[in-house]
């Protein structure tokens, strides 16, 4: 399994209606992207973030399908302009040491093929983790 987790701190001026729309879109991802085995979207507790989401997929091919799903890109377009800071991490129980490199490769391909997505991310105050452009931190 691969668990993809994001934590989001919203911009102070983000309209709550737009935030709610973005959270609803994240929930749609969990329900509608076939590669997602299970998911959770809600308030982030115990840190400097407002909301979080976790999507679990079975394997690297499921991860690729999840990352490249058109609905995922729609969520980026709607949600990222509302976000001040974001952290994205992946946890896997796959013992293959290449899995981490494959995850980073999927993200690199996604960013290389979508300059508008990179521009959205560059508009964030901070963005860290396994999916950060340029290989992550």
Query: From CA 118, how far away is CA 113, in angstroms rounded?
Result: 9
More confident residue, 134 or 123: 123
60 neighbors 103 (Cβ within 8 angstroms): yes
More confident residue, 56 or 133: 56
Mean model confidence pLDDT for the chain: 92
Exposure on the CB side of residue 68, measured as CA atoms within 13 A: 15
Q: Could you tell me the pTM of the whole model?
A: 0.90
More confident residue, 128 or 12: 12
Reading the block at residue 126, the tokens are 């901070």
pLDDT at 131: 65
Task: Find, among 5, 8, 94, the residue nearest to 56 by Cα.
Answer: 5
DSSP code, position 97: T
- Torsion 20-8-2-103 (CA) sign: positive
14 neighbors 23 (Cβ within 8 angstroms): no
């Amino acid at each position: 399994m691969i668990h993809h987790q994001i934590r989001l701190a919203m911009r102070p001026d983000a309209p709550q209606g737009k935030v709610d729309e973005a959270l609803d879109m994240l929930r749609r991802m969990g329900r509608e992207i076939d590669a997602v085995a299970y998911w959770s979207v809600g308030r982030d507790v115990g840190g400097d973030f407002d909301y979080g989401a976790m999507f679990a997929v079975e394997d690297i091919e499921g991860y690729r399908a999840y990352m490249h799903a058109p609905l995922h890109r729609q969520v980026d377009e709607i949600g990222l302009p509302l976000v001040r800071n974001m952290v994205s991490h992946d946890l896997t129980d796959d013992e293959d040491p290449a899995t981490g490199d494959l995850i980073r490769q999927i993200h690199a391909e996604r960013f290389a093929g979508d300059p508008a997505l990179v521009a959205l991310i560059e508009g964030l105050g901070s963005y860290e983790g396994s999916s950060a452009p340029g290989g992550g931190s």
